[in-house]
Amino acid sequence: MRVQECLKFFDCGKSKFYSWLNPKSKYHAAGFPRPIYLNGGRVPYWRRSEIIGWVDMQRHPNNASMTGLPTGRI
């Protein structure tokens, strides 16, 4: 997923979205999937499965240890 797809998925702005990735932000979301860069490019992408897995863990944080997926907060 590109940034614009993620923004639509979460219905949020770019600043809020990137604050989830920034460890110095008070809105930092621990465990939020990190972007990947294809072929050493500059355009960040996120794996849809990781985004959905992270959202599921926010809904059911007690199951995180069973799946091995990271948890965080929105």
pLDDT, tens digit (0-9, with 9 covering 90-100), for 56-71: 998 887 765 544 445 5
For range 22-30, the mean pLDDT: 94
Q: Would you state the pLDDT for residue 71?
A: 53
Summarised one tens digit per residue, pLDDT across range 28-49 is 998 999 999 999 899 999 999 9
Q: DSSP H helical segments within the chain, as ranges?
A: 3-10, 14-21, 48-59, 64-67
For range 10-14, the mean pLDDT: 96
Q: Would you state the pLDDT for residue 68?
A: 47
- pLDDT surpassing 70 at residue 50: yes
